[in-house]
Amino acid sequence: MKFSNLLPVPSWLRLAKRTYKSEICTEAARIFSINVQLVLTLAMVPGYAFMNGEDWGFSVVRAMRELGCNDPDDKSVQSLASKIWDEYDKGGFDESRIKHFLEATDNAIKMASLPGRAMSHGALHGLLRSMVTHAWTAFEVLAEDLHSGVRQKHPECFPSNLLSKKYGFRRLESMCGSYETLFWDDAKVKAVARSTEIKSIALLRHLLVHKNGVVDQMFLDQCSQNPVVTRFAAFELGDEVLINGEMVRNLVEPVTNRGYELVQLVDQWIIAHKS
């Protein structure tokens, strides 16, 4: 599964509030940051859950010892254990705590990979798939928020026929077309929407959601069209694309970078056209 390849998650400092000249760009970036944080949070679920289980077990043993009680279900033991567990949980993440978290992540994956653990293994694989779909959604929302926001807040930058036109964002091709129409004179803006990073995660998300990850001819054909996507070249017709942590990281990080690049470019475009 290579789940541990997702960790440590990229620094959330880069997701901190960013301020742009345009209010709409600042707001779109804020929402994008929140959505990316949600994606990264999914990577922490297995390790955090496993670590909490270990901490709770230790808290119960410590409470039993301090109270001189051998019944883990005793109400006084449960009450004290809860207080002890709170101390651990709210104690912050120093180096030893981070090490414990990373070890807990590895242990969670190892246990889920044992024979007879199909449900647990499937749940973790589903978590990885969810990260892919959520990352695409984060970019999709950003693209639509920027596009519609610019038209609403800065109509003076566009001819009337572009303001009245209907635009689509639910499909990659319609999203690209929407940006190519509205930002007709900016090759850099259009290049982000047409980039291999965005196309890669859009195609994989569609395959996961609509084909349960099984490669079909349409997927192969789309990968071969410009811009060519080579990261899935090892998969053939009928293969199931099994997601692992390394694959997710290599998809999510570039999409995050492209998202902030798009905000910056649109902000620059607004400044240039308002003047």
| Spatial distance between the Cα atoms of 80 and 60, rounded to a whole number of angstroms | 8
CA atoms within 13 A of residue 8's CA, in its CB half-sphere: 10
Does residue 7 surpass a pLDDT of 90? no
Q: Read off the pLDDT of each residue in 77-102 and give the average, rounded to a whole number.
A: 90
Confidence class for position 13, pLDDT limits 50, 70, 90:
low
Question: 255 near 135, Cβ under 8 Å?
Answer: yes
Q: Could you tell me the pLDDT band of residue 5, with boundaries at 50, 70 and 90?
A: confident
4-18, 112-126, 182-196, 211-225: least confident range: 4-18
Pick from 7-11, 178-182, 218-222, 260-264: least confident: 7-11
For the chain, what percentages of helix, strand and coil (3-state, to nearest 5) are there? 75, 0, 25
* Mean pLDDT across 38-47: 91
* pLDDT for the residue numbered 57: 95
| 228 vs 252: CA distance, rounded Å | 18
Mean pLDDT of the 133-142 span: 97
Give mean pLDDT, residues 170-183.
96
In this predicted structure, the answer to whether residue 12 has a pLDDT above a threshold of 60 is no
- Please report the pLDDT score of residue 85 as a whole number: 94
From CA 62, how far away is CA 56, in angstroms rounded? Answer: 10
Q: Is 92 left (phi over 0), alpha (psi -120 to 50) or beta?
A: left
pLDDT at residue 208 above 70? Answer: yes
Query: In 10 A of CB 18, how many CB atoms?
Result: 16
Least confident of 50-54, 59-63, 98-102: 98-102
Mean residue pLDDT across the chain = 92
Confidence (pLDDT) at 201: 97
- Under the banding of pLDDT at 50, 70 and 90, the label for residue 14 is low
Overall average pLDDT of the 107-134 stretch: 92
Distance CA 232, CA 200 (A): 9
Per-residue pLDDT tens over the stretch 212-249: 999 999 999 999 999 999 999 999 999 999 899 899 99
Confidence of residue 79 (pLDDT cuts 50, 70, 90): very high
Burial classification of residue 205, based on how many CB atoms lie within 10 Å of its CB (0-12 exposed, 13-18 middle, 19 or more buried): buried
> Of all residues in the chain, what percent carry a pLDDT higher than 70?
96
Residue 9 has a pLDDT of 66
Which is more confident, 219 or 12? 219
